[in-house]
Structure 1
Amino acid sequence: MVELLAPAGNPEALEAAIAEGADAVYLGLKSFNARMRSSNFAWNQFEATVDVLHKRNKKIYVTVNTVVTEDEMERLYRFLTYLNNVGPDGIIVQDLGLIQMAHKYFPQLKLHASTQLNIASAKAANTMSRWGISRTVLARELSLEEIRDVHANTSCELEVFVHGALCVSESGLCLFSSYLGGKSANRGMCTQACRRLYTAHEPEGDREGYFFSPADLQLIEYIPDLIQAGVASFKIEGRMKSAEYVGTVVSAYRYVIDNWEADKKAAVETGKRILANDFARKKTSYRFKSTRAEEVLNPDQAGGTGIYLGIIDGIKKGDVQEVPYKDGTRAVHYVQLKDGHYTPEKGDSVRIHKKDDSGRESWKIQDIIESKSGAWLQLPADSGKGDSVYLLQTKAMTKRYPHLLPASLEKYRRQPNDEALPMLTLEAGFPTLGDTNKAAPSKSASATPAGAALPAKSAAAASSTPVKKSLAKKPADIFPEGLYVQVSSIADLHTILADKPVRVIINLNEDTYPALSGQQSKQQVKPLPFPKREIFISLDPFVPQEQEPILTEQLEQLTAQGYTQFIVNNPAHISMLRNKKNFLVAGPYLYTFNCWAVSWLQDNGICAYIPPAESSQANIETVFAPELRPQVLLPLFSYSVLFRMRFTLPKSYNFLYFSDKQGEAFRAFSTPSASFVLSDKPFSVVDRYHALQHHQFSRFLLDFSHTTVERRAYRFILQSLRSGTPLPDSVRFNWKEGFYDPQRVEELKQLGQKPAADRKAKPSSSRARKSGHAPSNRTNRTEKGQQRGNRKR
């Protein structure tokens, strides 16, 4: 029987989901989940929910689907111990280190691979299945035929998103929000930067649009096909949505699941009529219907949800007052709207969209004053003229669902065990507990075995040295010290010969494969300027099922040609290349944010590591202690890929570049199979080269992926590296500040300092480019590497 899985962002949404027929719910707690901005459940609410749902034969899954930094591993262990004791039906995970920890200590916990793990093929699913993953939440970028093919080639249960908000980026590969302020999607802090208003800059002039705000997913008409394709669970997105929204969507999909065999057409039509009341964005079936970008993107549609009510045109002067709000009060005033075609009523829920696109807020209207000039709506006092207002839900839609949780939660614990954690050490290459607790803790066991007191410093810190030493390997001769350069074309290999690096990395793509594999035509044949021993081949992080057999064949050809060094960025790559005497480097998309992830990768045949693009220097140096640093290829320069899309952008996106309200500039380009958005300014810490050598790093990377290497710019970067001079017009990304930390922000504010994440971005400077020294990256590429709109500013 197929499972209908609903979101529960709070107890009210939980009640709506169960009342309308969900078989299971997924929810987050106060830590380690990808919706840290939603209400989430208190510990006692969660424990009561497990009891109540299990008595009703319903299932509950907990989201632990973020990456975890090294200094959080102790807290993560406590958290997993707590979950193991409470007993949910599964946990949804992203971090490879978490998988390693759970596999070793908590085999009772059922692990589900989050869509953030970017599992889009059977080989990727099978790789994870070997490590205790019982269910895979497939990437949302797959077609029906691909899902059917994945099921036919894996024994892993498949879960598929069928309804709700889409990420414009390929699953788990978005760095946009993190780049703009450290609020990473991989940390549950996404600010939905893709849904903002941007300005496109073209030779003909500027124009504004919501260029990357995707439509919402709706696959209700394909439910019968997905059931027949072997999908085990249908997942509804929406942990930040209202209870009424959850109830409406669950009821629609419940009806189709229960009635399609009797009359498929009638069941689907009924489901669609129910969904007409979800007040969401324009709908798409994504790749189930079309591979065109227009199926997903509409630049003229604002990124918010709801029915447009108008813009604020008038504000009642001198009538600001305080009303009860959450645990305190909120200042409100009265406003009038214009341009709308519907007047809301008292009790309706609306969303206020700031004029400058700086934020959005949901609000329930508590008062309306009627006058001859029209209705005055009571809205928060920080709403102002020009702000847009959207109707999210009418009072008439509000349903009261039976309460599920008991009135008193006194018998439930209020937080995970805070007793001391056993020493975490590494023995024989595996993270294991100290001698006092060799076995995995049972559900009834305390988080702390007898006699295992935690030292004054944290267990993670205390165990740092043995962990790193046991992972350290002597670097292979094939991975020498020095400078590595990564490029996207064969032509760029010839350019960098001017100052030859010790090794080159070339991205495998439509242009480079024929040259690497020797399958060029006679007219195209030109010897590669580097021997195969000096070439690493970097593999694309997104491996859809459609491309899996093609990539498998290409890699077989390349290894037969004598290539043995590969940068792997997806679990599927591990399945394709391990056990073949290859030297495998974990690329930045395998997210080595902690040494437990390093351990998992080493157990899967990985020999070296490129740290994640959004990691900080502090975390990199904590994960990769001096003993491990000979295995690290440290990026010093790159144009950050902020997000990637599985479609080619239409001609209307042929702008030179686009920018946000703060003047931060970006560029977009397409290949035959995907599109990319990159930062206009390069990430650079080339001036830290000598200091990092003193920190015992010895292998460094200059990454020119997705841009053309210009000889003058290349030499300028090398000159800056050798002289220790900062590159002009470059950024540090999260190198210094790391991820956004609300607690740290509050501490800085109390000290009268402004946190880096709150600082306004400065408009891109053209000074350095005019001098001809700094690298220019404002080019749009299209199919086969041909340039489109390649004028540079």
Structure 2
Amino acid sequence: MAQKIELLAPGGDIDAIKAAIASGANAVYCGLNKFNARNRAANITFDDLNGLLRLAHQHQCQVFITLNIIIVESEIPDLIRLLNKLVNTSIDGIIIQDLGLFYILNKYYSSLMIHASTQMTTHNEGQIKFLNQLKATRVNLSRELNINEITELTHAAHQHNMLTEVFVHGSYCISFSGLCYMSSLHGGNSANRGRCSQPCRDQYQTTSQGIEFPLNLKDNSAFADIAELARAGVDSLKIEGRIKKYHYVYLVVEAYQKQLKRWYNNEALESSDGMLYKVFNRDFTNGFLRGDIHQQMFIENPRDYSSTHLAKLKDDFSTEGIARAEEALYSEKGLLRQGIKREIDALSVNKAPLALVLSGQVGSALKIEVKTPEHHFELISEVRLMSHGIKALDEKQLMTRFKAINDTEYFIESIDLKDIQSNAFLPFKELTALKNRLLYIINDSRKTYVAVPKPALNKTKPQEIEPTLSVIIDAEEDVELLKNSNVDLYYKLPNHIAHQANELLDLFGKHKCLIPWFPTVLIGDDYGDAIAFLQQLQPQRLVTDNTGIAYEANQMGVDWVAGPQLNIVNSYALLTLQENFNCAGAFISNEINRQQIRNITRPDDFQLYYSIFHPIVLMSSRQCLFHQTIGCEKERMDEDCLISCDKSATLSNLKNTTFTIDKNKGEYNHIYHQTHCLNTTINKDIPNTFTSFFIDLRNISSTTKLSSNKKHLVTLFKQHLQGDKQAEQDLKKCIYPSSNGQYNTGL
């Protein structure tokens, strides 16, 4: 029989988790009511968790907790309080995105298994090595990868004793996960905080192709691709859907388990399962997995496709036919839900009882007999019972002192004091020690509490910091224009570098002042080509938005700076980069506000950067965004699309907000905000903090107009940073309109 693969199910609430367990999931991932990337799900409370853990483990089902958001500094104390509770549970793993949380878990909570979230956009071997160095035990690979790329990364992960997960069913994001800021900019609901409002599903003004939902992809389904994923060595198949209800979870898990059993038994696999069309879906595609990225991956209707599919099967696609199909489905779903609800209601999520029997006389040790369904042991105090003290032992005091037991998979059912001498006293400190020993045993020898210190304050005197100005460009004519402007010049490299490598090497050789900036997404050969370019160039310094390049730069001994799309928002993330990868500095995310930035502590010998003028990227996509907007002569993307396509278009929503779609040679499709960001207050609001402020002068269009040439703008920005108030006013006149909303609202 073939090696078994984990089937990982979503659990948005108690009923959905029970449905996953009942239908045969091998593992379930769920969020608590804080710090998880599905705030729209009902989620579970910590009090729910321990009973669910008990139920899941009785059915050989693992439970992973999602803490997969970026975490601002002010939330760290609450996070640590939660971790001190989670470390006392039997959870099987924590799914995370935030680099600061990696630091905290590695340094203080090593017993908790770390899973790297899909929000980390893992798509190359260097990123696998980066995560391995951060002690991740498994990684959820980017959803945009094809089967060959998945195979290579799974092999790389296994070489480093890491497991791989692949999303196999549910909603597709049109953007690379972790790199979408559209919801954040429009409505203040950050996808990196679990609040995505799904603007990709919205209706837009009708495009020239007659499309009203131009960003709406069909759902992902790899149901027919189980054999290929198994041969790729993938360890876990992940079903999306933590905002879905229990019947959805049950039926999808059941369908995939049946398909897996066919694979295990060397039986022919089904090409599809009709039940998957009877729960919510937007029709299905496996285009990314097959490496066949095409126009038919889109669908015009973002709502449930179930009744339309049934009407097509009956060859009755009229309005009346769809209505009849919807009525039939409603009736069938009702019966299915009733049967599933009866099954899951029979599953108990109660915690297990724990009984305490105390005995002892004054002058002797206190003995506590502990009884649970799994344990029966005795604890003996190291301090003898006394005839005087602050408070005599009674049930109320013991319930207070031992209340932490109720934060485990057990609850105190009874406390028996009949064999203890009346008016006997024991110091509170000794009761606490007994409680900790008890927890240590019932928690399978896990730590009961961890003290996490704040990052040490840097010793640099604030008045010594005088920020410089740095400029990002992507055209040689701008190098000639700005190279004598007494600024640091950074050149933004494309996602696909091979066809421009010689030209770029010549450019960097000709202009020694240029510093390379590596992009966020480098998949497959593009990553290998980027590494080859790095090794040939041998720069003294670089900026990268890709952790694979960060890993390689550290191995080569190159000073490197973490770019803004690594989403750095807390001090512990800076420590992660510095201590694990010898990082020289990092950009602070433009998603957070002035107060959230002020809270961050800069480590010693570490530089901080911030972008004060730039086009605002809303998303980056592997899919072609021109099919649905201005059209394209190709129905399918091919190798030449990434290399040669150079187009732009606009897209307007129903509120008349216009976005720019931009695709340059060698790059993926990007959507940009309608205006550039201009922040002329941060250097006054938060003085003596940043080493350098960046301005982005790449030729990316928006409604923002520049009434001065780039050289003059650089001069104005330099004067502004030197405190020239007139320069600030001139900048606002020269750059108009602009926006700076996130700096005011934050996360």
TM-score, scaled to structure 2: 0.75
The alignment status of 1:536 with 2:521, answered yes or no, reads no
Q: CA deviation at 1:613?
A: 2.5
- Name 1:402's counterpart in structure 2: 344
Q: 1:468 aligns with which of 457, 460, 478?
A: 457
Q: CA deviation at 1:581?
A: 2.8
The alignment status of 1:167 with 2:169, answered yes or no, reads no
- Name 1:785's counterpart in structure 2: none
Show structure 1 runs of 5+ residues with no match.
Answer: 310-337, 350-390, 418-440, 453-458, 740-793
Q: For the residues of structure 2 that align with 1:713 and 1:415, how far apart are their CA atoms?
A: 67
Contact 1:490–1:512 under 8 Å retained in 2:
no
- Name 2:301's counterpart in structure 1: 301
Q: CA deviation at 1:28?
A: 0.6
Contact 1:495–1:710 under 8 Å retained in 2:
no
- Name 1:366's counterpart in structure 2: none
Q: 2:475 aligns with which of 486, 489, 495?
A: 489
Q: CA deviation at 1:578?
A: 0.6
Residue type at the aligned position of 1:467: A
Q: 1:224 aligns with which of 212, 222, 227?
A: 227
Residue type at the aligned position of 1:577: A
Q: CA deviation at 1:301?
A: 2.8
Q: CA deviation at 1:539?
A: 1.0
The alignment status of 1:568 with 2:557, answered yes or no, reads no
Contact 2:62–2:92 under 8 Å retained in 1:
yes
Mean CA deviation greater in 60-69 or 255-264: 255-264
Following superposition of structure 1 onto structure 2, how do residues 629-648 of structure 1 map, counting pairs within 5 Å?
631-648=607-624
Residue type at the aligned position of 1:660: N
Q: CA deviation at 1:489?
A: 2.6
Residue type at the aligned position of 2:259: V
Contact 2:458–2:601 under 8 Å retained in 1:
no
Residue type at the aligned position of 1:573: I
Q: CA deviation at 1:646?
A: 1.1
Contact 1:64–1:93 under 8 Å retained in 2:
yes
Q: CA deviation at 1:107?
A: 0.7
1:21-56 CA-partner distances (Å, limit 9, x unpaired): 111111111111110110001222211011111122
Residue type at the aligned position of 1:712: S
Residue type at the aligned position of 1:733: G
Contact 1:200–1:657 under 8 Å retained in 2:
no
Contact 2:168–2:220 under 8 Å retained in 1:
yes
Contact 2:176–2:620 under 8 Å retained in 1:
yes
Change (3 A) 1:542 1:487: same
Contact 2:495–2:667 under 8 Å retained in 1:
no
Residue type at the aligned position of 1:214: L
Q: CA deviation at 1:218?
A: 0.4
Q: 1:180 aligns with which of 186, 195, 218?
A: 186
Contact 2:214–2:628 under 8 Å retained in 1:
no
The alignment status of 1:556 with 2:535, answered yes or no, reads yes
Q: For the residues of structure 2 that align with 1:187 and 1:151, how far apart are their CA atoms?
A: 28
- Name 2:487's counterpart in structure 1: 502
Change (3 A) 1:295 1:129: farther
The alignment status of 1:680 with 2:668, answered yes or no, reads no
Contact 2:629–2:651 under 8 Å retained in 1:
no
Q: For the residues of structure 1 that align with 2:611 and 2:164, how far apart are their CA atoms?
A: 36
Residue type at the aligned position of 2:537: L
Change (3 A) 1:295 1:566: farther
- Name 1:132's counterpart in structure 2: 135
Residue type at the aligned position of 1:146: E
- Name 1:670's counterpart in structure 2: 663
Q: CA deviation at 1:288?
A: 2.5
Q: CA deviation at 1:153?
A: 2.1
Contact 2:50–2:351 under 8 Å retained in 1:
no
Following superposition of structure 1 onto structure 2, how do residues 389-788 of structure 1 map, counting pairs within 5 Å?
394-398=333-337, 399-400=339-340, 401-403=343-345, 405-406=347-348, 463=454, 467-469=456-458, 481-497=467-483, 500-509=485-494, 530-531=511-512, 534-559=513-538, 563-603=539-579, 604-624=581-601, 631-650=607-626, 652-654=628-630, 656-671=649-664, 672-685=666-679, 687-688=680-681, 691=684, 694-705=687-698, 707=700, 712-714=708-710, 717-718=713-714, 721=717, 722=720, 723-725=727-729, 726=732, 727-739=735-747
Change (3 A) 1:694 1:242: closer
Q: CA deviation at 1:410?
A: 9.3
Q: CA deviation at 1:152?
A: 2.0
Q: For the residues of structure 2 that align with 1:651 and 1:213, how far apart are their CA atoms?
A: 12
- Name 1:16's counterpart in structure 2: 19
Q: For the residues of structure 2 that align with 1:190 and 1:505, how far apart are their CA atoms?
A: 32
Residue type at the aligned position of 2:279: D
RMSD (CA atoms): 3.5
Residue type at the aligned position of 1:738: G
Change (3 A) 1:473 1:158: farther
Change (3 A) 1:180 1:519: closer
Q: CA deviation at 1:628?
A: 6.4
1:335-355 CA-partner distances (Å, limit 9, x unpaired): xxx955444799999xxxxxx
Following superposition of structure 1 onto structure 2, how do residues 343-362 of structure 1 map, counting pairs within 5 Å?
343=323
Q: For the residues of structure 1 that align with 2:328 and 2:75, how far apart are their CA atoms?
A: 42
Q: For the residues of structure 2 that align with 1:579 and 1:290, how far apart are their CA atoms?
A: 32
Residue type at the aligned position of 2:149: E
Residue type at the aligned position of 1:646: R
Q: CA deviation at 1:144?
A: 0.4
Residue type at the aligned position of 2:598: E
Change (3 A) 1:416 1:121: farther
Q: CA deviation at 1:629?
A: 10
Helix, strand or coil for the counterpart of 1:578? Answer: helix
Q: CA deviation at 1:536?
A: 2.0
Contact 2:121–2:177 under 8 Å retained in 1:
yes
Following superposition of structure 1 onto structure 2, how do residues 108-257 of structure 1 map, counting pairs within 5 Å?
108-155=111-158, 156-199=162-205, 209-257=212-260
Helix, strand or coil for the counterpart of 1:44? Answer: helix
Q: Which has the larger radius of gyration?
A: 2
1:170-206 CA-partner distances (Å, limit 9, x unpaired): 121111111112211110100001111112676xxx9
Contact 1:84–1:106 under 8 Å retained in 2:
yes
Change (3 A) 1:407 1:599: closer
1:519-556 CA-partner distances (Å, limit 9, x unpaired): 67xxxx7787742xx32211111122343322221211
Change (3 A) 1:19 1:546: farther
Identity of counterpart residues, as a percentage?
A: 24
Q: CA deviation at 1:106?
A: 0.8
Helix, strand or coil for the counterpart of 1:639? Answer: strand
Q: For the residues of structure 1 that align with 2:656 and 2:713, how far apart are their CA atoms?
A: 25
Q: For the residues of structure 1 that align with 2:307 and 2:260, how far apart are their CA atoms?
A: 28
Q: CA deviation at 1:162?
A: 0.5
Residue type at the aligned position of 1:403: D
Change (3 A) 1:305 1:600: farther
- Name 2:431's counterpart in structure 1: none
Q: For the residues of structure 2 that align with 1:447 and 1:407, how far apart are their CA atoms?
A: 23
Contact 1:140–1:160 under 8 Å retained in 2:
yes
Contact 2:207–2:629 under 8 Å retained in 1:
no
- Name 1:746's counterpart in structure 2: none
